[in-house]
Structure 1
């Protein structure tokens, strides 16, 4: 039978380290971009370190894509 759930003992520390680094980089990038655009940087940054890829996709739809539309908020 296929085992679908894993405990932390079964996952390599290398993978856990890479995942942690990836989430930290993602959260930092979202924070810096939201700060540049003036769109609640702490909220987006903290949410960005909680998971992948949902915060990045929602950030793209709510912030980046909404500013690209005609009549969207200008970052300046």
Structure 2
């Protein structure tokens, strides 16, 4: 996690943009993977949502990403 540079506190956001990048997030149908996929999308990356058994939750993650990024695979 990045620090904000003023007091060393951790920032919940990446300190840079990921426009033009593609991220394959394994386990992105739920939990930490879903949170990571959404955060990467917020930073501009196109996301490939990958899951093993959680199709319905993965579809929800895709919809959440579309709200943020307008593109997901």
TM-score where L is the length of structure 2: 0.28
Higher helix share goes to which structure? 1
Which protein has greater RCO, CA pairs closer than 8 Å, 6+ apart? 2
TM (norm. structure 1) is 0.27
Q: Which has the higher strand share?
A: 2
Structure whose CA Rg is larger:
1
